[in-house]
Amino acid sequence: MSQNKLPQAAQWTTDRALKQVNSQPTGLSNQAVQTRQQQYGENALAGKRQTSLLEKFTAQFKDLMIIVLIVAAIIAAFTGEGIDAIIILLVVVLNAVFGVFQEAKAEQAINALQEMSAPNAHVLRNGATMTVKSDELVPGDIVLLEAGDIVPADLRLIEVASLQIEESALTGESVPVDKQLAPITDPSAGLGDLSDLAFMNSNVTYGRGTGVVVATGMQTQVGRIAGMLDRTQERKTPLQENLAHLGKVLTVLILVVAVIVFVVGMIRGNETLVNMLLTAISLAVAAIPEGLPAIVTITLALGTTRMARLNALVRRLPAVETLGSTDIIASDKTGTLTQNKMTVEKVIVDGDVLDAKQTAGATSEDDQGLLASLLLLNNDTKTIDDQLVGDPTETALVQYNIDHQVNPEDFLAAHPRVAEIPFDSERKLMTTVNQMNEANDQLWVTVKGAPDELLKRVTRIQSNGEISPMTDQLREQLLTINHQLAVQALRVLAFAYRPVTTIPAEMTSKQVEQDLIFTGFVGMIDPERPEVAGAVAEAKSAGIRPLMITGDHADTAKAIAVRLGIIDANDQAGVITGAQLDALSEAEFSDQVEQYSVYARVAPEHKVRIVNAWQQKGKVVAMTGDGVNDAPALKAADIGVGMGITGTEVSKGASDMVLADDNFSTIVVAVREGRKVFANIQKAIQYLLSANLGEVLTLFVMTMMGWQILAPVHILWINLVTDTFPAIALGLEPAEKNIMQQKPRGRSSNFLSGGVFGNIIYQGLLEGGLTLLVYWLALTFPVHANATQVHADALTMAFATLGLIQLFHAFNSKSIHGTIFTAQLFKNRAFNWAILAAFILLAATIAIPGFNGLFHVTTLSGFQWLIVLSAGVAMILIVEVVKLFQRMASRRH
C-alpha cells in the first residue's frame, strides 16, 4: 500500500475501504494472506542495517591503540624484527576475531529477545478470530481492537464502540481521540483530524473497534517517522557510559605509565629505541581492557536469554543490571500473587467448618451431598469443549463437584431446570426450580446468595439429616461464622432449598424465596500461588521488601498478605486503603510510606505515588502492572514489570520486563539472575583490571631496576591468552549460594564498589610482586653458569609466571568475597575449558621446541617450573587468606 493512499483512506466510506484493499468483513483467506505477505513483506519497521561479519571485523581496527600497535608492527618489520612483527599482527588479528565473535553472539541474543517481544494482533481470517504476530499482518486484514491494545498497522475503521485512541506519539496531542466512521471530507485535514483512521503503534485507551489494514510497515505514518529516526545515532545506556568513562580514565593513567617506561628505558640505555617503543605501546594496549564492553554486553545478553527460559522476558538489556539492585517489589495480587481462579476452600454444613477436600460431592446421601447438589442445581455454568465457561464463582462450585468425581452434565440431565429467578444486585440472590424425579411430582426450589440476605428468608435448618426450626440464636451463630470466614479473605455464599410439588404460579422473589430450609455455606477464595510464599521469604532474606497492591477490600488483602508472609497477622499498621492514601499529602505519605506493605482498594493511578515515595527514599523499585492505566507507574518505576498473559499491549510496551507466566516468583527469579549477572561482570572486571595492573607493575619495576624487560610479544601473548577466554567464562559462573542472602547493593553502587576497587589494587600488586620475585630468584639463584642463559631463563620464568599466575587468579575471581574451596569450584565447565585452553597456549610457547624461539624464551627445567607453579599457588592462597580476614571483619561489623 503506497504512502500517498493514506489521506485517501480517510476519505473512503467503510464499504469502499474494504473494496480498495480487496477485503471483506469476514477477513482474508489464508491463501490471500500468503500472497500479500510475499507482495508487501513483513509489517515491521526497518531497523538499522545489520552490519556484516566483514564490517564487524574491520571495525575492530578502528580503535586508536590497535592502530598504534599495527604501526609498531610495521616499524618492527622495517627494523629487521620480522618475527616480532608477525606475532604482533597475529595477536591483533586474533583479538579482532574474538571481538567479532563476542559482538555477533551478543547481537544474536538481542535479536532473539526482540523477536520474542513482538506484540500480537487479533484478526479475523476465514471468518474466525485468531491471534497472530503483528508483523504477519497484510493490507486487507481485519483487525479487532479493544482497550489496552497497541494498533498493529494503519487501519481504516469499519466498526467502533466508544473507541478512543491515544496518538500523542504522532500528533503531540495527549488527549485520546474519539474515533468515528464518517469519512473525512476535507482533503487538507491534519493527521490529528483523521478520526476514522487508527495509526500503527498508537494506544487504544477505551472502547473497542474493528478496522481494515490499509498500510503496513514502513508505509505507515509511524514508518515515516522510523525512517527519520533510523538516520540518528543511538544513545549509550548509563551502563555503557560508565564503562566508557572507566576506559577513558584507565587509558590516561596507563598511557602516562607507558611514557614513563619508554623514557626511563631509553635513559637506562639497555634497550633499543624500537624495542622500547614497542614495549611501551604493547604495555598500553595490554593494560587497557578494550574487550571489557564486549564482555559486559555478551554477559548481559546471555543473562537475558536465561531469564527468557525462566519466563522473564527482559525487553531492555541494561535492565538486567538494574534488577540486581532491586529494593522494593510492588506486585498486583490477582493473578500474580494468586492463581486468578476462584476455588472452594471451606464447606460449612451441620454447624462444622470443614476443609473442602475432606467433604463429599453431590452423589453423597448425607447433608454434605445435599449441599453439593445445590452447588450444581443453582448454577449457570456451561461446559464447552471440556472447558467450564461462566462466572468464576459458579465455575468454582462446579469444579468442586468434579474434584469429587461427580459428572455435572449427567447430574443436571437427571435434574433439569424448569424455572428460575435470575440473580440481581438488589436482592443478592439467585433461584432455580429443578425436577428431582422422572415423574415430575417432586421439585426443589434452590436459592443461593449473600448469607445475610438469604438467612432473612429461611425458617428451617437441616442438620445431621434432620430439619428443625431456625432460631434467632442459630441465625446469629451462622452470621458469626460468616464473618470469621470473610476475615480470612473467603467469599461466602449461603445455600437453601424448599421442596414443592408444582412450579410456582408466580416466579417472583416474594412468592418463591420464602420459607426456605438452610443447608450450608461455601467459602471460596482466589488461592495464593503455591510457590509465592517461598518467593516472598526469599525476597525478604535478600533484603527486598514485597508490597501487595490490589483493588480488593482491606480484609481480603490483609488475609492473603498474611498467608503469603508479606505482613504479620498482628500487623495493624501495614495496610492502607486508596481512600486513606488520598487523604495524605505527598509529604505525609513520603514520611509514612515505610509503614505500609499492603495497599487495598487502590486505583492504578495510586501506583505512581507509591513508586515516587519509595524512590525518594533512595530505593530501587520494581512495579507490576497489566492495564492501560498502569503504564505511567511502569515507566516511573526503575523496573516496570508487565504481565504476559493478562497484560495489555500498552502495559507490556511500557515495561522493562514481561512475565510470561504472570507469576510473582518469576520476579524473584529474575532478581536472582540480575544479581548473578552483576556479580559475574564484577568478577570479570576485577580479574581483568588486576591482571592488567600486574602487567604494568612488572614492566614498570623491571624498567626502573634496569633489568632486561619482557618483550612486546610476551605482553601481547599473555594479554590475548589470559584476558579473552577466562574473562568470558567468568560471565557464565553459576550464582553463589548466598547471593539471595545479601542485601541490595543500593542505587549508588557500581562495578568497583563493594571492595572491588581495593581488591583490584592489592591483587594487581600481588601478581606483579610475585612475578618480580620469581625473576629475582632466577637471577640470584641460577641453575646455569652462563650469564646469557641465566638472564634468558629469568625472563622466561617471569613470562611464564605472569601468564600462569593470572590463570590461577581466575579461580580467585570466581567469588569476590567468598572462598573458592567449595563443591562449585569446577562446576562451570566453560571456565574449566577456558583455563585449560589458555594454559596449553601459554605453555606451548615455552615447551615446544622451535616455537619457543619465536617468543624469545627458553625451555625450563622441572625445578624452574615448580617455582613458577608455586607462585601461582601462592597467589590463590594469599588471596583466599585476605578474603577470609575480609569476611571476619564484615561479620564483626
Estimate to the nearest angstrom the gap between the alpha carbon of 14 and the chain centroid: 42
198 and 72 assigned to the same domain: yes
Q: Which helix (H) or strand (E) holds 466?
A: strand 466-469
The 3-class secondary structure across 611-676, one letter per residue, is HHHHHHCCCCEEEEECCHHHHHHHHHCCEEEEECCCCCHHHHHCCCEEECCCCHHHHHHHHHHHHH
Specify the number of domains making up the chain.
4
429 and 407 assigned to the same domain: yes
* Structural domain ending residue among the three candidates 234, 264, 290: 234
Rounded-to-integer distance, Cα 454 and Cα 519, Å: 11
Per-residue model confidence (pLDDT) at position 59:
73
**Is the C-alpha dihedral spanning 378, 384, 386, 390 positive or negative?**
negative
491 and 503 assigned to the same domain: yes
788 and 699 assigned to the same domain: yes
pLDDT tens sequence across 444-491? 999 999 999 999 999 999 999 899 999 999 999 999 999 888 878 788
- CATH code of the domain in which 572 resides: 3.40.50.1000
517 and 428 assigned to the same domain: yes
* Structural domain ending residue among the three candidates 608, 628, 662: 662
Closest-CA residue to 215 (of 305, 139, 320): 139
319 and 298 assigned to the same domain: no
Q: Quick one: CA torsion of 16, 22, 28, 29, rounded to 10 degrees?
A: 150
> Strand pairing partners for 548?
331, 598
Residue with cell 566483514: 54
What DSSP character marks residue 570?
T
101 and 223 assigned to the same domain: yes
70 and 209 assigned to the same domain: yes
350 in Cβ contact with 463 (< 8 Å): yes
What DSSP character marks residue 842?
H
- CATH code of the domain in which 80 resides: 2.70.150.10
What are the CB-based long-range contacts (under 8 Å, 24+) for 58-63? Answer: 60/95, 60/96, 60/99, 60/100, 61/92, 61/96, 63/290
Instruction: Return the half-sphere exposure (C-beta side, CA atoms, 13 A cut-off) of residue 301.
Output: 20
685 and 625 assigned to the same domain: no
421 in Cβ contact with 431 (< 8 Å): yes
pLDDT tens sequence across 271-324? 777 777 777 776 666 566 656 666 776 777 778 788 888 888 887 767 777 888
Backbone angles phi, psi at 130, to 5 degrees: -150, 160
Mean pLDDT of residues grouped by 10 in the chain (893 residues)? 55 90 91 92 72 73 63 66 65 67 56 55 90 91 88 92 77 71 80 86 84 90 63 47 66 78 79 74 65 70 82 78 86 82 91 90 90 94 82 90 93 92 85 85 92 94 93 93 85 94 89 94 90 91 91 82 87 82 90 91 83 90 79 84 76 81 88 88 88 85 78 76 81 85 78 84 93 92 80 89 92 88 82 91 85 79 91 94 89 76
The 3-class secondary structure across 220-277, one letter per residue, is CHHHHHHHHHCCCCCCCCHHHHHHHHHHHHHHHHHHHHHHHHHHHHHHHCCCCHHHHH
Per-residue model confidence (pLDDT) at position 233:
44
Our CA angle for 168, 173, 175, nearest 5°, is: 95
Rounded-to-integer distance, Cα 697 and Cα 720, Å: 18
Closest-CA residue to 341 (of 385, 384, 403): 403
185 and 300 assigned to the same domain: no
Q: Where are the beta strands (DSSP E) in 532-596?
A: 545-549, 575-577
pTM passes above 0.75? no
Rounded-to-integer distance, Cα 259 and Cα 697, Å: 14
541 and 517 assigned to the same domain: no
Rounded-to-integer distance, Cα 551 and Cα 112, Å: 36
Per-residue model confidence (pLDDT) at position 744:
85
Would you call 332 a catalytic residue per the annotation?
yes
Per-residue model confidence (pLDDT) at position 697:
86
CA-to-CA separations, 281 to 36, 70, 247, 714, 763, in angstroms, rounded: 59, 10, 17, 13, 24
Per-residue model confidence (pLDDT) at position 76:
61
Report helix angle 82-116 to 64-78, nearest 10. 160
Amino acid, res. 538 = E
| Range(s) of the domain holding residue 80 | 1-234
All three cell numbers of 788: 646469557
Closest-CA residue to 707 (of 264, 273, 260): 264
Q: Strand pairing of 197-198 and 154-166?
A: antiparallel
* Structural domain ending residue among the three candidates 234, 263, 295: 234
278 in Cβ contact with 84 (< 8 Å): yes
Q: Which of 327, 332, 552, 656 is catalytic?
A: 332
3-state secondary structure of 383: strand
Rounded-to-integer distance, Cα 279 and Cα 281, Å: 5
Q: What is the DSSP string of 114-179?
A: HHHT--EEEEEETTEEEEEEGGG--TT-EEEEETTPBP-SEEEEEEEEEEEEE-HHHH---SPEEP
Closest-CA residue to 260 (of 286, 285, 279): 279
71 and 217 assigned to the same domain: yes
- CATH code of the domain in which 260 resides: 1.20.1110.10
Sequence-distant (≥ 6) Cβ neighbours of residue 807 within 8 angstroms: 722, 726, 835, 838, 839, 842, 872
Per-residue model confidence (pLDDT) at position 10:
86
- CATH code of the domain in which 377 resides: 3.40.1110.10
**Is the C-alpha dihedral spanning 538, 539, 543, 546 positive or negative?**
negative
